[in-house]
A and B are shown apart, each in its own frame.
Chain A
């Protein structure tokens, strides 16, 4: 195991009365660099991210990042989110509407002294090409700029892992690829594990070094994007061919 990798063995059951409605049961290792977490909606992608971030408590398992144990059901360890030193960019971005861009980005490094803090904020705003937005509020900037602010706010905290929950899904391709470029440039020196959730094939093809496919709460494929997508497609077509025999319905020519 690489010391800076994220490893997660997680089991989480959701119940409605006595009926189990959803089970997330996965075991994965995310090495430094981009890993795409791919799957249809309802596959358990966001639940997995919430478990890693400490927003949802798994029923059982063990999660560690960069050598720090975040959760271990056997040892009774469960660090609260604020102690996990992770960066999590939500689909909604969750920028604080009452704070300026500078204050949003400085939020996670409030423990630093003011001069050091403003220098770090300035540097990261520059590297994400939003240096001129400092005094604006989130509702005064564009969608793409908001994404950059959310990324900068998370990354300035020097996290152990970066979790991205479909952060670019609402953007057009050009802006999207620019932001991904900036993110890759930022991570080139740091080599953090980045877990990037998406349900879009285009994003998989554009970003992929490595992917994990999730469906129904389980891992259904892992490896290079082209191989995993190929395996998923052939499995799907096999299932389609089998379907009429299973249901016993009329087969049309």
Chain B
């Protein structure tokens, strides 16, 4: 089994899903509670990776990271190497690609919090930030788990964007899904099969966790 690719994928997925959680909390709060009328435009932008072919997203990202782009030049001057075909580039691409998988569960669980509780919190003297921390976040536990697990699983399984932005460099950008593709190309079906089965089981496990949490089969707040 290709442990190098497996380890790389897990490292990528862990970093991306943690970063995404940090980025998505304020973004989702703004989408859920903001009063700006043009909010739907931002919602559409966040959801774009759901419908765009990964190659399209990958192409634009590749151009944006290229040596002649502002981002590419900035990265070059800061770190001495380009962004495309690196692990960091892969992280950046995955952040965008998995963004809706983190933001949308959070938005829907924030919107599900009883508005009466938010009103009670503010009448009791809590600032909006304190209301968010003490009421909205704890009551959105299932949304937080869903956001983390889905963005982790989605990053673990991505193929098109990784291939476009990261290429296929062993130990740097060759993720599990690309390793599977390589094995199939080389007629090494046994290797491909083992990795594929592992991904299948992991994805099933992740979804089982998501559905269990959302059915409130378990949550830290329920006495049962």
Given contacts A90-B119, A96-B135, contact A157 B124 (CB under 8 A): yes
Pick from A55, A92, A98: contact of B123, CB below 8 A: A55
Query: Would B123 and A88 count as touching, CB distance under 8 A?
Result: yes
User: Which residues of A in the span 83-107 have a Cβ within 8 Å of any Cβ on B?
Assistant: 83-88, 90, 92, 94, 96-98, 107
Contact A94 B126, beta carbon cutoff 8 Å: no
Q: Is the CB of A108 within 8 A of B124?
A: yes
Cross-chain contact of B139 among A84, A90, A98 (Cβ < 8 A): A98
Contact B123 A82 (CB under 8 A): yes
Interface residues of B in 31-89 (CB under 8 A from A): none
CB closest residue in chain A, given B135: A96
Residues of B within 8 A of A110 (CB): 126, 130
At the interface, yes or no: B205 with Cβ under 8 Å from chain A? no
Q: What are the residues of chain A within 8 A of B121 when measuring CB–CB?
A: 96, 107
**Are the CB atoms of A55 and B139 closer together than 8 Å?**
no
Flag if B223 contacts A90 (CB, 8 Å). no
B-chain residues with CB within 8 Å of residue A54 when the two chains form the complex: 122-123
Cβ contact within 8 Å between A107 and B124: yes
Give chain B residues whose Cβ lies under 8 Å from the Cβ of A97: 139, 221
Size of the chain A interface, CB-CB below 8 angstroms: 28
A244 in contact (CB, < 8 A): no
**Which residues of chain B are within 8 angstroms of A88 by Cβ–Cβ distance?**
119-120, 123
Residues of chain A contacted by B221 (CB below 8 angstroms): 97-98, 137
Question: Do A92 and B116 touch across chains, with their CB atoms under 8 A apart?
Answer: yes
* Majority-rule SS of B interface residues: helix
Report the separation of the CA atoms of residues A154 and B124 in the bound assembly, to the nearest whole angstrom. 7
Contact A140 B223, CB 8 Å, known A98-B139, A157-B125: yes
Residues of B within 8 A of A82 (CB): 122-127
Indicate if the CB atoms of A86 and B139 lie closer than 8 Å: no
On chain B, the residues within 8 Å of A13 by CB distance are: none
- In whole Å, how far is B158's beta carbon from the nearest beta carbon of chain A? 35
Q: Which of B107-133 contact A (CB under 8 A)?
A: 114, 116-117, 119-127, 130
Say yes or no: A108-B116 contact (C-beta < 8 A), given A96-B135, A98-B138. Answer: no
A125: which B residues are within 8 A, CB to CB? none
| B117 proximity list for chain A (CB < 8 A) | 94, 96
Residue A214 is within 8 A (CB to CB) of chain B in the complex: no
Question: Is A153 located at the chain interface by the 8 A CB criterion?
Answer: yes
A66 interface residue per 8 A CB criterion:
no
B120 near A94 with CB under 8 A, answer: yes
CA A87 to CA B124, docked complex, whole Å: 7
Within A110-142, the residues touching B (CB, 8 Å) are: 110-111, 137, 139-140
- Judge if B134 is at the interface, Cβ distance under 8 Å: yes
Knowing A94-B114, A96-B117, say if A139 contacts B223 (CB, 8 Å).
yes
Q: In the complex the two chains form, what is the Cα distance from A108 to B119 in whole Å? A: 13
Chain B residues near A83 (CB-CB < 8 A): 125
**Of B119, B123, B127, B223, which is in contact with the most chain A CB atoms at under 10 Å from its CB?**
B123
List the A side residues contacting B135 at CB < 8 Å: 96
Give min CB distance, A160 to chain B, whole Å. Answer: 12
Q: Hey, which chain B residues are within 8 Å of A86, CB to CB? A: 123
Known: A90-B116, A96-B117, A137-B223. A81 touches B122 (CB 8 A): yes
CA distance A157 to B123 in the complex (A): 10
Q: Can you name 6 A-B residue pairings with CB atoms under 8 Å?
A: A82-B125, A83-B125, A84-B123, A92-B116, A96-B134, A108-B124
Write the residues of chain A forming the contact surface with B, with a CB cutoff of 8 angstroms. Answer: 53-55, 80-88, 90, 92, 94, 96-98, 107-108, 110-111, 137, 139-140, 153-154, 157
9 closest Cβ pairs, A-B complex = A108-B124, A94-B120, A81-B122, A94-B116, A98-B221, A88-B123, A98-B138, A82-B122, A82-B125
Given contacts A82-B122, A108-B125, 19 further A-B contacts (CB under 8 A): A54-B122, A54-B123, A55-B119, A82-B126, A88-B120, A88-B123, A90-B119, A92-B114, A92-B116, A94-B114, A94-B119, A97-B139, A97-B221, A98-B138, A98-B221, A107-B124, A110-B130, A140-B223, A157-B124
